[in-house]
Each structure stands twice: as C-alpha cells, then as structure tokens.
Amino acid sequence: MKNVLVLGGTGFVGTPVCELLLRQGWRVTVPTRRRANAELLHRRFPEVRLLELDVHDEAALTQALTGHQAVVNLVAILHGTADAFEKVHVKLPQKLARACGAAGVRQVVHLSALGADSTRPQSAPSMYLRSKGQGEAVLLQAAVLGQHAGFDLTILRPSVIFGVNDKFLNVFAQLQKVLPVMPLAGATTRFQPVWVGDVAGAVVRSLERTDIACAPNQPLVLELCGPDVFTLRQLVELSARLSGVRGGRGRPVLALPRWLGRLQAALMELAPGEPLMSRDNLDSMKVDNVASGKVPGLSCLGITAASLVPIASAYLGRK
Ligand SMILES: NC(=O)c1ccc[n+]([C@@H]2O[C@H](COP(=O)([O-])OP(=O)(O)OC[C@H]3O[C@@H](n4cnc5c(N)ncnc54)[C@H](OP(=O)(O)O)[C@@H]3O)[C@@H](O)[C@H]2O)c1
C-alpha cells in the first residue's frame, strides 16, 4: 500500500481528495493545526490518520513526510497581509521541496490557482495570485533542477471551485435570503467554475499517471476549468434561481463601481473573522478567471469536466 500525506486535507477540497485516495487504495495521513478542525473529516473517514502538526516547522514536516511516497499540498489562504501570503504560498512550498528531498518523497501534487503565473509571478493583479505564482516557481525549480533529489511534480490551477460545501454559490444564496439587494463588486468578471469532484479526480489521477499523451514531460501544469463561463452577476443570479430565493427570482443585483467595491471590501476587512471579500480579492478579479488555452486542462487526465447547473441545483435546492 502506498502512503500519501495530504497537507490541508481537512478543507473543502481536502475531504473529497482524501475520499478518492482511500478509494484508490492509498493510506492517507492528514496534518492539521488543530485536531478539532479535522472533526468532520475524521467522522466521515475514520481510517484517515491525523497528525496535529505545524506544517511550517520544517523539521516536523520532514519527519511527517518520512515513509510517504507522495504529498498533496492544499494549504492556502484567501485573505491576509503580504507576509501571510508569503509564509503560506511561497515559504511553505520552499520548505516542502527541501523536506521531500530529505524524506525521499518522489511525487508532489500542488494546488495553485487559475491566473497564477510561475514565469512572471509579479504580473498577476493580486497578492494572492502573485504569491501563488511564486510558490509554483519554487516547486518547478526544485523539480526541474533536481534540487533536493528531485520529484515528479504536478501543478493544478483551478478556477473557482463549486461543490456541496463551497463558500461561493452557497454564500451568494444565503446572502440573498437576508439582504434586500445584492451589492456586487466585479459583477462583469468572468469565471469558469470547476466541480470539486473533478479537482479531487485530477489530484488522484496526477498521482497515478503513467502515460499522459498531452504532456509527456515533467513537470505537468494544468488549468482546471468547467465547461461553462459565467460572469459573477450570472453566478449570483443562478445561485438564487437554483436555491429558490424569492421563487427563484433572487434579489436585484446592484453592480458597484470599482471605488465603491473597494470601500465595501475595506469595510468587510474590518469585521471580525474571515472577511466575505477583501480588497485583494477584488484585485484578483481585475482579470477574468477563465482558461488561458496555453496549458492543458482536465481532459489531459481523461476527465470530462462536469457542468455546474445540474450539480449545484442538487445541493442548493436541498438546502
Ligand atoms: N476553493 C476554491 O474555490 C479554490 C479555487 C482556486 C484554487 N484553490 C486552491 O485549492 C486549494 C484547496 O483549497 P480549499 O478551498 O480546500 O481551502 P480550505 O478549505 O481553506 O482548506 C485549506 C486547509 O489548509 C489549512 N490551512 C489554512 N491556513 C493555514 C495556515 N496558515 N497554515 C497551515 N495550514 C493552513 C487548513 O487545515 P487545518 O485547519 O486543518 O490546519 C485548511 O483546512 C488551495 O491551494 C486553494 O488556493 C481553491
């Protein structure tokens, strides 16, 4: 049996990734900052081994990786300071590359984000995307140059991800249940949402790939997108239609001009807890979040991307 360590395995993408890995016969270990954060995962999949661990502690990470053939990195943050993005999206991949070398791990799958660019990280519009690009570059360098003994690397760049517990369509639907109108920044930005089940499938196929005709060489970089493109406004309207808010009509969408959107985001950043939207999120939306067409997609792994409407109507409608 092969062993895989799934960093960030307790999250939205992590749970279906662990499920598929178990189904494929992998022995799965998930580090978590706090055991309580893994409660849901543990309840659903008690066979997943949990480790309470600070993944930013390189010695502890190296020890955790020992005895594993593969690692999947799903750790990321959506909001924070430049230092926080650097710590999680750049320094962690650096430590991971060194730790893989020290522990003899030969396969790495890293979740990045659509819009990140390892060749020109600074050209991206937000701290989130710039740091994601830098993180990719770190891992590519380690894999290509065979630094730290080298490893097989797959980088996956998803567009926004939908699925049962997403914080995207579910949030739009919830907001419309309580607000009289939907003030929306970035209403015209286009997205190509991808299903969480397809993202999980891509992670597992990446680990098990033997012959990939469309990209036979190492390392593999893929953009993960669904078949349909929507503007943000269309997604908000769709979430209302599928969840039946006001008989499916939803609330009127009030597209905010850029300056007002920034003010709204700045105020949201002041609220306690994770902001619904930050100024950095708005910066990410300065460019469309759709496939570039320059790198292969899900079909490269033999996956036919699922459409949003049938899947989202099942889980939004149920709620
Ligand atoms: N969701 C999307 O729409 C989307 C779109 C594009 C790309 N992605 C990428 O896909 C990957 C998975 O996303 P996700 O939505 O599953 O994320 P998520 O639900 O937020 O899960 C991330 C996990 O990382 C761990 N984590 C968070 N902050 C950390 C920190 N500062 N230090 C150490 N560990 C930390 C947490 O585990 P513990 O609490 O157990 O420690 C958490 O469960 C990420 O790389 C993300 O950038 C996601």
Total-model pTM: 0.96
Q: Which pLDDT score, from 0 to 100, does residue 33 have?
A: 98
C-alpha of residue 10 to centroid of ligand 1, in Å: 8
pLDDT of residue 144: 80
Render pLDDT for 286-316 as a digit per residue (tens, 0 to 9). Answer: 999 999 999 999 999 999 999 999 999 999 9
Distance 117 CA to ligand 1 centre (A): 19
Contact by Cβ (8 Å): 159, 193: yes
Q: Which atom of ligand 1 is nearest to the CA of 112?
A: 45
The fold for domain 3-161+193-224 equals: Rossmann fold (3.40.50)
Q: Whose CA is nearest to atom 26 of ligand 1?
A: 75
Give the residue extent of every domain in the chain.
3-161+193-224, 163-192+227-290+298-318
Q: What number of H helices and E strands is found in the chain?
A: 12, 13
Backbone φ/ψ region at 183: left (φ over 0), alpha (ψ -120 to 50), beta: beta
Task: Evaluate: CB of 176 within 6 angstroms of ligand 1.
Answer: no
CA dist 222 and 29 (Å) reads 25
Nearest residue by C-alpha to atom 25 in ligand 1: 8
Please tell me if the CB atom of residue 76 comes closer than 6 angstroms to any atom of ligand 1: yes
Strands 3-7 and 70-73: parallel
Quote the ligand 1 centre to 14 CA distance (angstroms).
Answer: 8
Q: How far is the CA of 217 from the centre of ligand 1 (A)?
A: 28
How many Cα atoms occupy the beta-carbon half-sphere of 203 within 13 Å? Answer: 33
Tell me how far the alpha carbon of residue 75 lies from the centroid of ligand 1, in angstroms. Answer: 4
Fold classification of 163-192+227-290+298-318 (topology level): UDP-galactose 4-epimerase; domain 1 (3.90.25)
pLDDT tens-digit map of 246-265: 999 999 999 999 999 999 99
Give the pLDDT score at 2: 94
Best CA proximity match to 186, nearest among 289, 115, 266: 289
Q: What is the pLDDT of residue 145?
A: 73
CA distance 169 to 70: 32
Q: How many residues belong to the chain?
A: 319
